[in-house]
């Protein structure tokens, strides 16, 4: 896709907006210091109210007496805002003291209590569904590659696990409440009403995120709502305030939980022990070899490499720069942003004469949002986002380089031979220096365009409160791959042989890939009216979504959504929602489904028996029930169809006297025309409460979810000779509590906000194919989805006599010797112990890798010019299989190997005896290797100072803040293994190390 014309169109627009804003702020209008007071309806002064100049930058805050002073000019419009009160505005007409009275809005009905719902905005008081909204200014401005990580631990019911840390590839998942299926069911993101991935956005683009968690909020999306939805609202212009912001951050990222490599002496000793345990007659490394490794006298014949030290840096630099502007007038409003993000890699010694092979990630984000009021009836909004991302990696791939660093024995070869050539052997040709300096580099440059046109036509002249809306989006992306390629030769000086054939440096064959076009159309009507004490809101939309990629067939879905809401006296609320939608991934006869939901709410604290309570200021109960669908059921596309292989080789039919197969057409699979979507039935009941003069806020939801028609394997006799495919036979039920709490108080110059959120859940499998005939202790029914199937360990065999006298004989791979794990004889073909250890003895334990509890808590404090924030995030009920991490490194030898079983350490050993090949018994799936993956992480901490600034002069600076921060700085867990509990594979195998981030930043407001 060619984006040059698009940049030529939008970049000048961005420049015009910035220069217009700068010119407006450098105007020659004469300002004066105006004073005033802000009161409530009872003439009580309001402390903490904000006063700003419309289309200006001046901002003031009222003191304990409700007084303020602000620089403004005659005929300027002042905007007054206060939490819990309706905003007000006043035009300055003289130099008298300004008096403003703000009207109380009612709890959860103020200007700051907006909740985004699909194609609508409601006050929190009006919402009966389970919805949580978090504004972006409540999260730190940390320079992270995936913006989703900034919200981790801050939103109740939203779980954001990270699976990778490589530059440009954080692998952050997104799950809402319980993960109630056999596989991962990721929630979808919707940016400005359109289905989009939002992890690569800059946090400064985002106004808020809203998490939809129950049927009443999700039924609108029909087949696309079954896994939950996160709505992302980008920032828009505001006629009451014009500004320019500049943010910059520079940070240092350091590795955490990096596996410490063995030196050659320790490695050789452990290798000898492992070989002898396997039955070797002679130790591979002699006493003379060991002494040579220990002394280091001959580093070419007896090398002692530390690849992590030599080819991984202690730290790398990360940078973020953001320039944004917003403002406008009553008829046109705009927001514009340009940001740059640069994350360096941890690889070292990567510079070559014609390239640098270090990993890295560079990203430019542009956003321009413009709202036009063509007239009092017609509004046109254009939201445009563009992004370029460049992911850099070594020519052989980042995983290959990390694999060579982590998995190559320290004594495999000298990095450089005496003559300066690259060392290597027939078994080990991946020389880290060669991979980094003589294999070139890869550049994957991705360009992304996101455009949304939203047109709203008021039809009040026809029917008061009626309006029509059309939203159309066009998204495109593509990747251009380029770079340099080269090959090196390694030499084994001991044998006088070389391996691999060197090639000169050449440009890598460039090409385009991952081209994707996506468009979405929503068109419909809205009706919003107030009749005295009655409020009616109704919406209906038709929707069509299409995704196109050159290498495969288009993906489409479409449907109709409707919603009717009724409120009485702002006390009683009722909502009916329904989505009728279809997917082309389901057979034509069963393509469409209807998904209804209902919700109701009651503000109990408005009733006479509870009104004006001195402790309980607000209490609302609400409930919802409904069904939602999920058409992303897994398996192949069009699984309802039967497919055939043409001119198949090796799978044809023999004719005549020969048994050789003749090329022919064969069945590849039999379709299942009854295949359908997953149906998710959701029940939710909750309450919102405020206590202690609204200082304490508690929200809690109790939910029950039943997911039916989950895709599961079909069970058929093997004699059929064909794969029937999958069937909708799985059922999983989940229930839990989703809660959050906030406490806010001001003590003079000190303001404190405490927050906490918690998700407690319990999930179990109700139905799944393949359980008939299994003993109860191996069935998935009644257990967590993904529960481990393992052998139950019973210590170590201590000597051969114990092995010989054992009542149960193992048939697992490998021989059994002292120091091996002993397993319990659970059952045989009849379900009873049979004296044999085999797969019949595996037990389905009620533990899984997915946590059943996750939570977060933190605090924000401000005293005068100083502010401080901290946030923690944790999970409970997560279980990790550490076998592959304990047994990582060359030949599975590492620092953990020192805690293995030997006759001398039999009483204290943590792990079984060492082995090189013959150890299948010890690597079998067993509870021996399972550990609690619970953890508590210091997710973010930030401290800043707001410096005094002058609001005079051409720049008229409104604020200057300098701050320091950190991200992922500390983790508490009980693993007893040096791995990160969230990404246990990081820093070993072929995975990038886990990262801590330290930053210093500056925020300037004009």
Span 583-604, pLDDT tens digits: 888 888 889 999 999 999 999 9
The most confident of 574-578, 609-613, 722-726, 879-883, by mean pLDDT? 574-578
Confidence check: pLDDT of 4 > 60 = no
**Which whole-number Å values give the CA distances from 77 to 38, 99, 716, 989, in the listed order?**
15, 14, 76, 62
**pLDDT(443) > 60:** yes
- DSSP assignment of 552-596 equals EEEEEEEEEEEEEEEEETTTEEEEEEEEEEEETTS-GGG-EEEEE
d(CA 492, CA 617): 80
Degrees to nearest 5, angle at CA 389 with 384 and 390: 160
Does residue 154 surpass a pLDDT of 60? yes
How big is the CA angle at 251 (ends 246 and 252), to the nearest 5 degrees?
170
Burial of 994 (0-12, 13-18, 19+ CB in 10 A): buried
φ, ψ of residue 722 to 5 degrees: the values are: -150, 150
Q: Please provide the average confidence, as pLDDT, over all residues in the chain.
A: 89
What is the pLDDT, as a whole number, of residue 568? 95
DSSP class of residue 898 equals G
- The C-alpha atoms of residue 389 and residue 936 are separated, in whole angstroms, by 32
- Superfamily name and number for 114-243: TonB-dependent receptor, plug domain (2.170.130.10)
Coil, strand, or helix at residue 25?
helix
Count Cα neighbours of 154 within 13 Å in the Cβ-side half-sphere.
24
403 or 103, which is more confident: 403
Taking the domains of the chain in order of start, what are their residue ranges? 31-101, 114-243, 244-253+318-518, 776-847+883-932
pLDDT reported for residue 448? 95
Residue of 6 and 119 predicted with greater confidence: 119
Residue 72 near residue 58, CB atoms below 8 Å:
yes
Measure the N-to-C terminal CA separation of the chain; round to a whole number of Å. Answer: 37
DSSP 85: B
Does residue 14 have a pLDDT over 70?
no
Beta strands in 717-834 (DSSP E): 726-747, 750-767, 789-790, 793-796, 809-810, 821-823
| Arithmetic mean of pLDDT, 298-310 | 95
Give pLDDT tens digits for 24-57. 444 445 577 889 999 988 889 988 888 888 766 6
Q: For the ranges 104-113, 346-355, 757-766, which has the lowest average pLDDT?
A: 104-113
Mean pLDDT, residues 752-764: 96
DSSP reduced 3-state for 224: helix
For residue 201, give the nearest of 189, 213, 193 by alpha carbon.
Answer: 189
- Say which residue, 731 or 42, is predicted with more confidence: 731
Model pTM?
0.89
- DSSP letters, 624-682, are EEEEEEE----S-TTTTS-EEEEEEEEEEE--TT--SPEEEEEEEE---TT---EEEEE
Cβ atoms of 739 and 758 within 8 Å: the answer is yes
Single out the residue of 823, 820, 875 nearest to residue 849, CA to CA.
Answer: 875
Q: How much is the average pLDDT of 891-919?
A: 91
pLDDT at 623 over 70: yes
In this predicted structure, which of 146-160, 794-808, 855-869 has the lowest mean pLDDT?
A: 794-808
Pair 277, 914: CB distance under 8 Å? yes
Same fold, 31-101 and 114-243: no
Closest C-alpha to 586, from 619, 551, 558, 627: 558
Per-residue confidence (pLDDT) for residue 27, from 0 to 100: 45
Handedness of CA 248, 254, 256, 259 (dihedral sign): positive
pLDDT band at 726 (very low <50, low <70, confident <90, very high): confident
Q: Within a 10 A sphere around the Cβ of 360, how many other Cβ atoms?
A: 21
At residue 15, does pLDDT exceed 70? no
Taking residues 52-64, what's their average pLDDT? 77
pLDDT > 80? residue 813: no
Which pLDDT band, with edges at 50, 70 and 90, does 650 fall under?
low
Mean pLDDT score, 269-289: 94
Cα 865 to chain centroid, rounded: 33
Question: 649 exposed, middle or buried (CB, 10 Å; 0-12, 13-18, 19+)?
Answer: exposed
**What is the distance of C-alpha 675 from the center of its chain?**
30
The CB density around residue 462, as the number of other CB atoms within 10 Å, is: 7
> Tokens 């192949």 correspond to what residue?
636
Q: What is the pLDDT of residue 652?
A: 65
Which among 142, 246, 255, 360 is positioned nearest to 999, based on CA atoms? 142
pLDDT at position 934 is: 96
Q: Where residue 337 falls among pLDDT bands split at 50, 70, 90? A: very high
Q: How far is CA 731 from CA 451, 764, 769, 869, 967, in A?
A: 39, 9, 10, 43, 39
CATH class of 31-101: mainly beta
Give the range among 236-245, 663-672, 964-973 with minimum mean pLDDT: 663-672
CA angle 231, 52, 88 (to 5 degrees): 80
Task: Return the pLDDT at 23.
Answer: 44
Instruction: Determine phi and psi for 974, rounding to 5 degrees.
Output: -120, 30
Reply yes or no on whether the pLDDT at 297 is more than 70: yes
DSSP state at residue 246: E
The Cα 265–Cα 303 span in angstroms is 10
Counting every residue, how long is the chain? 1006
Asked if residue 213 has pLDDT above 80, the reply is yes
Between 130-134, 330-334, 786-790, the lowest mean confidence (pLDDT) is in 330-334
8-state DSSP, 237: -
List the helix and strand counts (H, then E) for the chain.
10, 53
Measured CA to CA, the distance from residue 222 to residue 352 in angstroms comes to 54
Helix (H) or strand (E) holding 272: helix 264-277
Average pLDDT over residues 446-452: 95
* pLDDT number for residue 724: 66
Backbone phi, then psi, for 349, in 5-degree steps? 55, 50
DSSP category for residue 23: H
């Amino acid at each position: 896709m060619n984006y040059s014309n698009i940049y030529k169109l939008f970049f000048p627009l961005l420049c015009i907006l910035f220069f217009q804003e700068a010119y407006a702020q450098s105007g020659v209008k004469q300002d004066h210091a105006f004073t005033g007071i802000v009161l409530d309806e009872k003439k009580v002064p309001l402390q903490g109210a904000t006063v700003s100049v419309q289309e200006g930058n001046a901002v003031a805050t009222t003191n304990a007496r409700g007084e303020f002073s602000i620089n403004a000019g005659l005929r300027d419009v002042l905007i007054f805002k206060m939490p819990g009160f309706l905003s007000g505005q006043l035009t300055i007409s003289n130099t008298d003291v300004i008096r403003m009275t703000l009207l109380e809005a009612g709890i959860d009905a103020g200007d700051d209590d907006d909740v985004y719902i699909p194609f609508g905005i409601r006050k929190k008081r009006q919402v009966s569904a389970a919805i949580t909204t978090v504004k972006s200014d409540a999260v730190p401005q940390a320079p992270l590659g995936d913006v989703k990580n900034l919200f981790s631990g801050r939103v109740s019911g939203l779980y954001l696990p990270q699976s990778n840390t490589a530059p440009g590839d954080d692998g952050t998942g997104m799950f809402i409440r319980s993960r109630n299926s056999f596989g991962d069911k990721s929630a979808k993101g919707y940016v400005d009403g359109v289905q989009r991935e939002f992890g690569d956005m800059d946090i400064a683009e985002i106004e808020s995120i809203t998490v939809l968690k129950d049927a009443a909020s999700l039924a609108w999306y029909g087949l696309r709502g079954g896994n939950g939805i996160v709505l992302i609202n980008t920032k828009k212009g505001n006629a009451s305030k014009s500004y320019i912001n500049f943010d910059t951050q520079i940070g240092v990222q350091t590795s955490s939980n990096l596996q410490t490599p063995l030196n050659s002496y320790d490695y050789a000793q452990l290798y000898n022990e492992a070989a002898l345990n396997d039955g070797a007659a002679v130790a591979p490394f002699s006493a003379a070899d060991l002494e040579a490794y220990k002394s280091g006298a001959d580093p070419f014949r007896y090398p002692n490499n530390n690849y992590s030290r030599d080819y991984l840096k202690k730290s790398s630099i990360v940078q973020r720069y953001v320039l944004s502007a917003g403002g406008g007038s009553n008829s046109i409003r705009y927001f514009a942003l340009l940001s740059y993000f640069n994350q360096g890699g941890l690889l070292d010694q990567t510079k070559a004469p014609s390239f640098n092979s270090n990993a890295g990630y560079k990203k430019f984000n542009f956003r321009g949002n413009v709202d036009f009021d063509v007239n009092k009836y017609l509004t046109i909004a254009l939201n445009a986002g563009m992004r370029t991302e460049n992911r850099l990696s070594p020519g052989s791939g980042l995983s290959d380089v990390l694999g060579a660093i982590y998995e190559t024995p320290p004594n495999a070869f000298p990095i450089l031979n005496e003559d300066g050539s690259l060392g290597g052997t027939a078994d080990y040709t991946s020389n880290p220096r060669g991979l980094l300096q003589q294999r070139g580099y890869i550049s994957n440059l991705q360009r992304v365009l996101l455009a949304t046109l939203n047109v709203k036509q008021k039809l009040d002249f026809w029917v008061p409160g009626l309006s029509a809306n059309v939203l159309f989006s066009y998204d495109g992306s593509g990747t251009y791959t380029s770079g340099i390629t080269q090959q090196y030769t390694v030499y084994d000086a001991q044998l006088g042989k070389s391996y691999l054939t060197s090639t000169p440096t050449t440009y890598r064959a460039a090409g385009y890939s991952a081209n994707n076009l996506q468009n979405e159309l929503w068109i419909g009507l809205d009706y919003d009216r107030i009749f005295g004490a009655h409020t009616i809101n109704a919406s209906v939309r038709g929707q069509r979504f299409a995704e196109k990629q050159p290498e495969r067939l288009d993906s489409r879905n479409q449907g109709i959504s409707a919603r009717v809401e009724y409120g009485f006296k702002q006390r009683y609320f009722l909502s009916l929602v329904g989505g009728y939608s279809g997917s082309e991934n389901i057979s034509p006869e069963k393509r469409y489904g209807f998904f209804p939901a209902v919700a109701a709410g009651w503000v109990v604290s408005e009733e006479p028996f509870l009104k004006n309570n001195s402790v309980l200021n607000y209490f609302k109960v609400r409930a919802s029930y409904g069904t939602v669908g999920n058409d992303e059921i897994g398996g192949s596309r069009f699984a309802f169809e039967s497919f055939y292989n043409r001119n198949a080789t090796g799978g044809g039919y023999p004719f005549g006297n020969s048994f050789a197969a003749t090329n022919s057409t064969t069945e590849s699979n039999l379709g299942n025309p009854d295949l359908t979507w997953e149906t998710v039935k959701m029940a939710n009941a909750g309450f919102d409460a405020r206590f202690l003069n609204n200082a304490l806020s508690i929200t809690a939801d109790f939910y029950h979810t039943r997911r039916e028609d989950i895709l599961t394997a079909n069970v058929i006799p093997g004699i059929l000779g064909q794969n029937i495919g999958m069937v909708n036979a799985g059922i999983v039920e989940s229930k839990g509590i989703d809660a959050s709490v906030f406490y806010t108080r001001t003590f003079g110059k000190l303001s404190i906000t405490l927050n906490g959120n918690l998700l407690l859940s319990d999930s179990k499998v109700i139905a799944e194919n393949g359980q008939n005939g299994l003993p109860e202790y191996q069935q998935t029914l009644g257990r967590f989805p993904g529960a481990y199937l393992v052998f139950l360990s019973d210590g170590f065999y201590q000597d051969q006599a114990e092995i010989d006298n054992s009542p149960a004989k193992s048939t697992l791979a490998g021989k059994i010797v002292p120091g091996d794990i002993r397993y319990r004889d659970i059952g045989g073909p009849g379900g009873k112990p049979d004296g044999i250890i085999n797969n019949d003895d595996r037990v389905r334990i009620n533990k899984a890798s997915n946590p059943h509890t996750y939570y977060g808590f933190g605090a924000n404090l401000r005293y005068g010019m100083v502010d401080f924030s901290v946030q923690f995030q944790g999970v409970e009920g997560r279980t990790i299989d550490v076998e592959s991490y304990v047994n990582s490194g060359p030949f599975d030898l590492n620092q953990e190997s020192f805690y293995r079983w030997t006759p001398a350490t039999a009483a204290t050993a943590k792990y079984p005896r060492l082995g090189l090949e013959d150890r299948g018994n010890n690597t079998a799936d067993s509870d021996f290797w399972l550990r609690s993956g619970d953890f508590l992480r210091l997710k973010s901490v930030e401290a800043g100072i707001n410096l005094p600034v002058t609001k005079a002069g051409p720049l008229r600076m409104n604020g200057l803040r300098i701050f320091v921060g950190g991200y992922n700085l500390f983790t508490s867990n009980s693993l007893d293994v040096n791995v990160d509990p969230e990404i246990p594979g990081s820093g070993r195998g072929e995975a990038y190390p886990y990262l801590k981030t330290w930053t210093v930043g500056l925020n300037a407001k004009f």
